[in-house]
């Protein structure tokens, strides 16, 4: 009678601060998705929220800082939902306004100072997000399909966030 979530166990290891350049670059293949959902904590403060599988894929294993919520507790402010400050705050050149030290460290390891340093891959990521949205006929239908029963002000805020952030990407 209770709702639960189950997943398959995978073998591998925590990404960690000792990530290689190749692993850091692999992590950045999910950058546009992190920005879309406002996943500020996908790397974790010490790259502890990412996992490397045996075949080298990177999994985000803690998405508590996505959408409306902050990773540690509480809600993000409405002004943080519709913008994409992460496009600056996750990169090394912005050391005065680091939004996540783990993401910042991975950007340094990858050799990325901005999305310009991986522009073709970033462009493909955004195109893939657009295809996903279009496949469902819009973000509203996507939410309805994947979160049935999600209603009210929070649903409206998530929908607005997805539409606004997608347009900015």
Q: What is the pLDDT of residue 97?
A: 57
Q: What is the pLDDT of residue 88?
A: 78
The pLDDT tens digits of the residues spanning 37-70 come to: 999 889 998 999 999 999 999 999 988 889 999 8
Q: What is the pLDDT of residue 98?
A: 59
Q: What is the DSSP letter of 76?
A: P
The pLDDT tens digits of the residues spanning 9-20 come to: 889 999 999 999
Q: Please tell me whether the overall predicted TM-score, pTM, comes out greater than 0.85 for this model.
A: yes
Q: What is the pLDDT of residue 43?
A: 92
Q: Is the CB of residue 40 less than 8 Å from the CB of residue 70?
A: yes
Summarize the confidence of residues 96-105 as an average pLDDT.
76
* Cross-strand pairs, 60: 50
Q: How far apart are CA 88 and CA 77, in angstroms?
A: 18
Q: How far apart are CA 47 and CA 61, in angstroms?
A: 11
Band (pLDDT 50/70/90 cuts) for residue 86 is: confident
Nearest to 166 by CA among 115, 112, 128: 128
């Amino acid at each position: 009678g209770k709702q639960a979530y189950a997943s398959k166990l995978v073998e591998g290891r925590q990404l960690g601060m000792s990530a290689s350049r190749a692993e850091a670059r692999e992590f950045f293949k999910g950058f546009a998705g992190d920005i879309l959902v406002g996943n500020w904590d996908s790397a974790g403060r010490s790259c502890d929220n990412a996992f490397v599988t045996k075949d080298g894929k990177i999994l985000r294993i803690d998405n508590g800082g996505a959408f409306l919520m902050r990773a540690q507790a509480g809600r993000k402010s409405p002004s943080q939902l519709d913008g994409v400050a992460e496009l600056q705050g996750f990169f090394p050149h912005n050391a005065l306004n680091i939004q996540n030290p783990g993401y910042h460290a991975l950007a340094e390891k990858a050799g990325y100072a901005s999305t310009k340093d991986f522009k073709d891959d970033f462009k493909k990521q955004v195109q893939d997000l657009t295809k996903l949205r279009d496949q469902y006929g819009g973000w509203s239908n996507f939410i309805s399909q994947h979160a049935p029963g999600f209603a009210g002000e929070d649903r409206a805020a998530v929908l607005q966030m997805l539409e606004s952030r997608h347009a900015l990407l």
